[in-house]
Structure 1
Amino acid sequence: MNILDKIIATKKQEIAASQKLKSLSELKDSEFFGRKTFSLKQNLKTKSGIIAEFKRKSPSKGIINAHSEIKDVVRSYENNGASAISILTDQEYFGGSSTDIFAVRNSVEIPILRKDFMVDEFQFYEAKAMGADVVLLIAACLSPAQVHEFTELSHELGLEVLLEIHTEKELRHFNPIIDLVGINNRNLKNFEVDLQHSVDLKNLLPENVLSVAESGIYSKENFTFLKEKGFDGFLMGEYFMKNENPGDAFAEFVKSL
């Protein structure tokens, strides 16, 4: 069993526990469920194009940043030109929490991506109730039929969808109603990074599809290479979060571009 399989098995247990704590009707009654969402598709065309991520740890790197306050970090990201915020809500493997997005929703006025392993309808209602604007669908976790079904549900809830792929085979998960396609530079099964592989996959997408380069962007040179190859957005987290002050690291990076 690889790490992705382990994460999904744990995730299904977490979902079952969450469903016992809160019903769909309770989620629909939450403070943010009826709010009008911000559009990532629109925001990528403004500011830096960077989706700046808040991430405490990862399976491959362990603890990345255990001390920074999420509210301070996301405010700094926005103030220094982030087009959107990505927040890990997986607890077991990434140190996130289902309350993280809720806690900062009123602190920023740019889109928030709920980054998690979305495998059940309940999670999409959770995302809306948290105050998320966008959800991540990971092709490696889902069938093409599930991607289509979950995209339709997301749109019904007013959420945009970022579909993540990392192999040519996963291109079959794409469908015309997907909002954006993220191409993971890091293989989820062995965590190797290959930027050129991502460029090759991007070139197989329809021309009008917004593309986001994800993971493994560790330098201005990486960023510039991917931008020159036509990527519209850039999901970056570890590069900033490994610093004592992630917001300052983000500001310095944007100034260097």
Structure 2
Amino acid sequence: MNRTGKIIHYNQNDGKGIVNADGQTYPFDVSLWRGSESPRLNGPVRLEMGGDGVLAVHPAAGEAQQLAEMGGQLGKALGQHGNHIGQQLLAVHGIPTLVAYALFLLGGTALTFVTFKSLGLAVPLHSLDRLMNMFGSSNTLTLLLFWVGVVAMIAPLFIRHRLTSLLLGLPLTATLVGFYDTYRIVSAAQAGLARRTAMLGDMMAAFSGRGGAVRELPTIAFSDVVGLGAGFYCMLIAGLFLAWIGFRQYRQQ
């Protein structure tokens, strides 16, 4: 019998962790791990159960990976019928719109979305999910909007309605939601640091009466922590253009 869940605790030093599946917790050690990479906190897993408990722990595809696989399947399907669909898309959208879609796709899959300056960490859009998992949440909505925005390019081939023009606003929406998720990551990190600093201040105050010096942290501006990458600007420019085209088409129909 198999169960699905996620890792809620893992200690790399002793190789032991805990999985939460269906509201129950199951301890495991690294000898039961069947993945090629090390277990990671909040990572989705599949438990192979037996009479003696957990027999093996397998990594499972998370929502972000599933969405990426959907995108790959879409690309394969488009490749098989590329010529016919390409001609139809060119007739429906025109070259400028298709170029904007290509720029949006490039920015979201191959270029850096944001850079965390203090860490020197360049993060593409699809890796925001891993950072969000570190703080107990997920940005799968951003990835969902991204891929739906790409797929929406072919919607006019099957749906003849003026509302399909508004789907051209999805790339801009995905870009802005990704930016908001980045802001949430920074806010969560700063909040966690503030809590730890307050705890340290309380401890120092309890033992030496000098905790006030570490209670307050200087305010750090968002722009001092995060730099916007080429991927963000490509997606933003493409998203603004596509949203403008979609709104204009909606008004004209």
Task: Compare CA radii of gyration and give the structure with the larger one.
Answer: 2
The TM-score, its normalising length taken from structure 2, stands at 0.24
> Greater share of helix residues, 1 or 2?
2
